[in-house]
Structure 1
Amino acid sequence: MRALPLLLLFPSLALAQTGLIVQPATPPRGVTLPPTSAALVDEATALSVNPAGLRFIGPGQLFYLHERNLARDQVGDGLFLGTSLLGGLGAGFSLEWMRGRGLPDYRKTSLGLALGSKTLSLGVGYHNLSSDNGALDRLSGFDLGLTLRPSRFLSVGAVVRDVNADEEGPFTLPRSYNLAVGVRPFGERLTLGADYLAPEGDWGDGRLTYTLKATVVPGFGLGAGLSHGLGADRSLALQFAATLDSSRFGLTYAGGGVEGGGLDHVVAVRLSTQRYPALRLGGGSVALVDLDDRLVERGGLGLSLLGITESDPFLRLMRWMDEATKDPRLKGVLLKVSDLPGVDWAKADELRQAILKMRSAGKRVMAVLYNVDDRAYFVGSAADEVYALPSSSLLVNGLAGSVLYLGGTMEKLGVTWDVARVGEYKTAPEQFTRRDLSPAERETVEAYLDAQTAHDVAAVTQARRITPERLQEAWGVGILTSTRAKELGLVDGVLLPEELDAKLRALVPGASYDPYYSPRDEREGRWSGRRRIAVVPVLGTIAGGKSRKSPLGGEVVAGAETVALALERAQRDPSVVAIVLRVDSGGGDVLASELMYRAVLEAKKYKPVVASMGDVAASGGYYTAMGADEIWASPTTLTGSIGVFYIKPALRGLLGDKLGVNEEIITRAPMATLLNPWKPWTEAEQKTVQAWVNSAYDDFITQVSVSRKLDKAKVDAVARGRVWAGVAAKEHGLVDSLGGLMEAVASARKRAGVPDQEELDLTVIGEARGLFSSLGGEPGVDTKLLLSPEPALPPGLQALVRESGLESVLLLEPGLKAVQPFTLSVR
């Protein structure tokens, strides 16, 4: 009769423990593990069960196990180390000591590697045995493992143990096979597994093992394993286990045994760098969110030149706030509010809405104001409680709009400009040709400023429970001290630093401050990655080629090639259920805008595409967005500006008359010098370019008419370069709904038919990289910043670059332009 060890109880009671020894003898495979399965194991102990499980470990883990069977005087100890590395690689090492099992005391040393994805992993393990008397010193084995996790509810494992079937003297490691399946019929809280292990050549003489693992509450779980033979050996083995977890420490006790074999005790201790779900014995966590720090563009000049940058800080912050809102561990948030770099009024409204959503989800929010203006105060006022420091300054003095003009400078330089445009509101070239506001531009600025002021007043007075007259009184003061702000009701008090802890305790009783809080810092037990919504950014000036960032921290370019490729990747990726096109651009090159628009039309044939507009989505930015299934804008998003223009300098007055430069031109055609920057257009050239611009404008409004399902004449009436606030754009049918990025994400989710209970990941595809990133091909979508971050350029210098017009040099490149009519600063 051929005997087989009880190979699969949890799954290694037999593998590690029993060994019904026959000749040649089969040494036990190591320390018994708590209940698990070749389809379930995904920790450092996977090296003993299925090496493919090493791929799923995460950051470093250390397990120490002690096993003792008093009836048989058997003792075992095991030390397991494992980690997941970059590129889908997992690695493990273990050292086990076995004593008193009818064999010489021996040691087992193992190494393992696994490679794969969250769905499929392949692994290999090597085991070497050695003993004090040398009897096992040359015995070793190789295991091959596979884990397939095609969905959240199913996991399949397959292992070939001891592939080499090594023999040494009276001892052997026979080749055997393990097939396993795991299911989660009700999600991650209950896991069921079944394994079948059989020796090579005798599939009917194998053993079945059944595993159950249940999470009773986060941080406390129970497990059980049952094993029985199907051939000559019909013995039963049984084991029960309980696990108690804190974030980085875990303790498991497992007790059980084989018929007639006495009670076997196993104690396992876990240490890990990654946090595990822990017992929630306290009142939850309070997190500190320094908005300015999270909004600063990271990456030094050298890294930016190489194309190594972080993702857009605002998109990253919005994703963090959305995840934190859904995290039951988080009970409160302390916001530090100051300058809010890179945030204008529409993005400020998105931040404000994110704060209000946190409050609606039961989080308590306290804002501490440093030096703030109206825009930053608008954000901070959304908190449950608002405090200022004794030395804080509140520049809450009402809104004003400003537009910078260079017309007078051009006159002094002797530079004239040739302009062809459609519509009196397409005033972008006036920045170079005028000294002051034109009537059309004044009308647009006045209307936008009225809309923004009304929105600001309504939001602040409702949040602070004050009258509009009280807010206007604050505006009349100019710069408010903390004490005066308290008197006027703009803040709840003046906070001394030593009072902060007491205020937080009162705000969130029982909660504790967690300086390392992150909504995604806990180990997930999911068997497959979540499906995703892809955010494709169109940020900055629209141009051809690849998206890129200036190393000086000024200009950001949305490249048509990068955006189109990102949309194609998203539409082809089976894990992406919908696409959100995030537009924060005043426009740029007409051809590049058209290419992006066409890419959006193509993508939405396959998946829902929803556009989300940030601070500005004008002209070419609107062109790109209008092809989406649905368009979302904040109430104060600068949008519209439907129109095109062409602008060309005539430099003869500067270079020739003032500097003595001369250019001689020889032509062979009447229009050969049409775009030459030396001399002004002739009347015929002006008519030619104007006809070109008229044709492009007609194409623009035709596409708006088709995409928005509007009468072309109605589109023309609201177009002609006119800029609208988001609320007005909705009234005119240019956008569908008012809301920010997360509202657009929710809409995309609904359009994709994703059930409300299903968790989705939000991923950004196609971000701008450094100046020279295109030298290596398409900028890396998944590039991560591995070095210590530092600001690329001080915010003050970035503002100087923007105000001087230096970040809009693409405006002067040849080609038709679809750009917002002015750079409007509202403070």
Structure 2
Amino acid sequence: MKQFFKFVLATIVGLVFTTIILVLILVGIIASAGSDKTVDVDSNSILRIALTSPIAERTPSNPLAGLGFLGLDGEKAIGLNDILANIKKAKTDDNIKGIFIDESYMLSGQATTEEIRNALIDFKKSGKFIIAYSEVYTQGAYYLASVADKVYINPKGIFEFSGFSQQITFLKGAMDKLGIEAQVIKVGTYKSAVEPYILNKMSDANREQVTSYLGSLYDHFLTGIGSARKINKDSLFTIANNLRIQFPEDALKYKLVDGLKYKDEVINELKDRTSTKKKDDLHSVDIAEYTKTDVKADDDDKTSKNQIAIIYASGEINGGEGNDNTIGSERVSKALRKARLDNKVKAVVLRVNSPGGSSLASDVIWREVKLTHDAKPIIVSMGDYAASGGYYISCAADSIIAEPNTVTGSIGIFAILPNMQKLFNDKLGVTFDGVKTGKYADLGDVSRPLTPEERAILQNQVNRGYDDFTKHVADGRHKTQAYINSIGQGRVWTGAQAIKLGLVDRLGNINDAVASAAKKAKITDYKLVAYPDQKSIFNKFSAGLTAEVKTRMLKSELGENYNTYQQIKSITQMMRTPQARMPYDVVIK
């Protein structure tokens, strides 16, 4: 027994010692990685843009990025904020002679791509060049690249140009086989987020709205490319509709690219443009690294005491704290409150990039936006999405600015409660019995169907939520509630459509929103401050590591079925509270 305790004690001491060593190593790595050493830019350099990571609103606070620590990818990501800032800096940096867009796949929404594309168009006013090259041009990647002075593709590459499509996965058949019935309570003819669980195909109303907004997105897409490449929009439609581009030489024939080149040939051209000898290395700086240079844009040296707060609200809306990728009502409300009560903050820009979520959490944030509106100017800048709950939290602002291809609207409420009686009774042979002290004490029990009285109660709650939603929008947009109801009903709109309906005030980007906020506050000299504070690596390392490992395991086991798993998982989230959520994700390849 004595030997046993000695062994246990030695094991515990060893574990403690090992833990201490690992912590010290981790601290050292973080200290080294987060040292923010200044990056020098050589003369005659190019700024390289390769956007292969998902683009968040803000660059993640992760000093371990790029280190591959503990077997994780640690991919160095850059947020939209730094992408735009770096392109702006490069415009006036004498050491940067041009931009090289080096892409194959671009992981960003359409409005995000729009903001980057417009920044590149502004960069060209400097007279500097932009060269784009790719082995594979998806439609989204090509839309960005189309503004370049020269667009090249690998001679054996792939060029996608076939039009937009939207596909929805329907789960009703699978749920029927499992013996699960989705009991839906909703308001809104077009509120189609529930359709995958109760139908086998799109409803007529949903098909109508998807056709409408997809057509609006596609029209903007073709118009932008036509303007950049000086090709008639109708001609582009015909080219895509007949799939006339099947090989790289077809893209050259129809003037969508300027040449078929291998990468070494493109590099040689870049050397010529930067007066670099062929035997010498091309001087370049990656856009993520360019953040660490001491180069500043024209307005980066402002020292004014006046501030404009940019409050980022990105991701699904839920109660609680949330994180940098989800909107927690508590965290965003605190940020709004802090900015409102800070006398140095003269105006607020609320950056919304959200498909919605909990209607309760949305209302909590709406209240803080309304209080801020009553105290000082607040302008909403919409990203890829500002729909349903995302629009809910926006509608009380002084004004709303969106991109033409922002997806917004979806003013509606729904709730889903599963009836799993057949699954339990018929499939599993499980039955339930019990007692209750009140008629509705077990309201929401998933082991049985709703009674007519229970369904009426839930419908009344959803109706009230929709009434609150439309009233808030009507008050904020200075419209009648009847009018908002007529364009609401859960219908999705693009920014270009929404401006005609009065749901959006003007088209533009986050910089336009900042300028609008400054004008509203009657200030010309100001500094930008960002809220809420990003989570430090120490706060999120453990949780992030656990989530990363879990995600990797699931993706490995489920493969292509991982997206279906995610969709099924979202059902459980929808069952907790009435939802103001977009019906689906819009993915344009």
TM interval, short-chain normalised = 0.7 to 0.9
Structure 1 position 581 matched with structure 2 position 353: no
Of residues 717, 739, 744, the one that matches 2:486 is 717
Change (3 A) 1:686 1:471: closer
Change (3 A) 1:633 1:273: closer
Equivalent residue for 1:339? 105
One-letter amino acid matched to 1:811: Q
Identity of aligned residues (%): 30
**Aligned mates of 1:663, 1:635 — CA distance in 2:** 53
**Aligned mates of 1:356, 1:335 — CA distance in 2:** 13
Change (3 A) 1:762 1:323: farther
**Aligned mates of 1:438, 1:577 — CA distance in 2:** 47
Equivalent residue for 2:532? 765
How far the C-alpha of 1:480 sits from its partner, in A, is 3.3
Equivalent residue for 1:513? 283
How far the C-alpha of 1:643 sits from its partner, in A, is 1.2
Q: Tell me if the contact between 1:461 and 1:471 (Cα under 8 Å) persists in the aligned partners.
A: no
**Aligned mates of 1:529, 1:286 — CA distance in 2:** 33
Helix, strand or coil: the match of 1:671?
Answer: coil
How far the C-alpha of 1:527 sits from its partner, in A, is 9.6
Instruction: Give 5+ residue unaligned stretches, structure 1.
Output: 1-85, 87-271, 550-555, 780-784
Change (3 A) 1:529 1:799: farther
**Aligned mates of 1:598, 1:569 — CA distance in 2:** 14
Q: Tell me if the contact between 1:403 and 1:824 (Cα under 8 Å) persists in the aligned partners.
A: no
Equivalent residue for 1:435? 200
One-letter amino acid matched to 2:106: L
Equivalent residue for 1:225? none
Structure 1 position 593 matched with structure 2 position 362: yes
How far the C-alpha of 1:327 sits from its partner, in A, is 4.2
Q: Which protein has the larger Cα radius of gyration, Structure 1 or Structure 2?
A: 1
Helix, strand or coil: the match of 1:705?
Answer: helix
Change (3 A) 1:295 1:443: same
One-letter amino acid matched to 1:521: T
Helix, strand or coil: the match of 2:438?
Answer: coil
One-letter amino acid matched to 1:292: T
Task: Deviation per CA, 1:304-349: give whole Å up to 9, x if none.
Answer: 9x9x9998733442333344345454331111122212x1222222
Structure 1 position 617 matched with structure 2 position 386: yes
Q: How does 1:165-314 map to 2 (within 5 A)?
A: 274=38, 285-293=45-53, 295=55, 313-314=79-80
How far the C-alpha of 1:769 sits from its partner, in A, is 7.9
Task: Deviation per CA, 1:229-260: give whole Å up to 9, x if none.
Answer: xxxxxxxxxxxxxxxxxxxxxxxxxxxxxxxx
Change (3 A) 1:294 1:663: closer
Of residues 413, 421, 426, the one that matches 1:652 is 421
Residue range with higher mean Cα deviation, 502-511 or 793-802: 793-802
Q: Tell me if the contact between 1:543 and 1:589 (Cα under 8 Å) persists in the aligned partners.
A: yes
Of residues 704, 710, 724, the one that matches 2:473 is 704
Helix, strand or coil: the match of 1:611?
Answer: strand
Change (3 A) 1:523 1:753: same
How far the C-alpha of 1:768 sits from its partner, in A, is 6.9
Residue range with higher mean Cα deviation, 593-602 or 311-320: 311-320
Q: Tell me if the contact between 1:811 and 1:817 (Cα under 8 Å) persists in the aligned partners.
A: no
How far the C-alpha of 1:654 sits from its partner, in A, is 0.9
Q: Tell me if the contact between 1:275 and 1:521 (Cα under 8 Å) persists in the aligned partners.
A: yes
Q: How does 1:265-414 map to 2 (within 5 A)?
A: 274=38, 285-293=45-53, 295=55, 313-325=79-91, 327=93, 329-341=95-107, 343-414=108-179
Structure 1 position 814 matched with structure 2 position 576: yes
How far the C-alpha of 1:685 sits from its partner, in A, is 0.9
How far the C-alpha of 1:395 sits from its partner, in A, is 1.6
Q: Tell me if the contact between 1:323 and 1:519 (Cα under 8 Å) persists in the aligned partners.
A: no
Structure 1 position 500 matched with structure 2 position 266: yes
One-letter amino acid matched to 1:416: E
Q: Tell me if the contact between 1:558 and 1:768 (Cα under 8 Å) persists in the aligned partners.
A: no
**Aligned mates of 2:219, 2:570 — CA distance in 1:** 30
How many residues of Structure 1 are paired with residues of Structure 2 in the alignment?
A: 534
Helix, strand or coil: the match of 2:97?
Answer: strand
Equivalent residue for 1:570? 339
Change (3 A) 1:351 1:330: same
Change (3 A) 1:547 1:354: same
Helix, strand or coil: the match of 1:365?
Answer: strand
Change (3 A) 1:509 1:476: farther
Equivalent residue for 1:134? none
How far the C-alpha of 1:724 sits from its partner, in A, is 0.9
Structure 1 position 641 matched with structure 2 position 410: yes
Change (3 A) 1:542 1:375: same
Task: Deviation per CA, 1:90-134: give whole Å up to 9, x if none.
Answer: xxxxxxxxxxxxxxxxxxxxxxxxxxxxxxxxxxxxxxxxxxxxx
Equivalent residue for 2:8? none
**Aligned mates of 2:257, 2:50 — CA distance in 1:** 19
Structure 1 position 682 matched with structure 2 position 451: yes
Structure 1 position 539 matched with structure 2 position 308: no
Helix, strand or coil: the match of 1:292?
Answer: coil
Helix, strand or coil: the match of 1:382?
Answer: coil
Task: Deviation per CA, 1:442-486: give whole Å up to 9, x if none.
Answer: 111010111111111111122112233255325533763322211
Of residues 413, 433, 436, the one that matches 1:664 is 433
Q: Tell me if the contact between 1:431 and 1:822 (Cα under 8 Å) persists in the aligned partners.
A: no
**Aligned mates of 2:416, 2:256 — CA distance in 1:** 47
Structure 1 length normalisation: TM-score?
Answer: 0.58
One-letter amino acid matched to 2:585: T
**Aligned mates of 1:723, 1:527 — CA distance in 2:** 40
Instruction: Give 5+ residue unaligned stretches, structure 2.
Output: 1-30
Helix, strand or coil: the match of 2:290?
Answer: coil
Structure 1 position 461 matched with structure 2 position 221: no
Change (3 A) 1:671 1:318: farther
Helix, strand or coil: the match of 2:573?
Answer: helix
Q: Tell me if the contact between 1:634 and 1:738 (Cα under 8 Å) persists in the aligned partners.
A: yes
**Aligned mates of 1:303, 1:568 — CA distance in 2:** 37
Tell me the C-alpha RMSD between the 2 structures.
Answer: 3.9
Helix, strand or coil: the match of 1:580?
Answer: strand
Residue range with higher mean Cα deviation, 374-383 or 530-539: 530-539
**Aligned mates of 1:792, 1:660 — CA distance in 2:** 32
How far the C-alpha of 1:759 sits from its partner, in A, is 7.0
**Aligned mates of 2:302, 2:510 — CA distance in 1:** 29
Change (3 A) 1:578 1:684: same
Q: Which structure is higher in strand share?
A: 1
Change (3 A) 1:685 1:519: closer
Equivalent residue for 1:170? none
**Aligned mates of 1:731, 1:677 — CA distance in 2:** 43
Structure 1 position 491 matched with structure 2 position 257: yes
**Aligned mates of 2:501, 2:462 — CA distance in 1:** 24
**Aligned mates of 2:458, 2:313 — CA distance in 1:** 29
- With CA pairs under 8 Å and 6+ residues apart, which has the higher RCO, 1 or 2? 2
**Aligned mates of 2:316, 2:207 — CA distance in 1:** 24
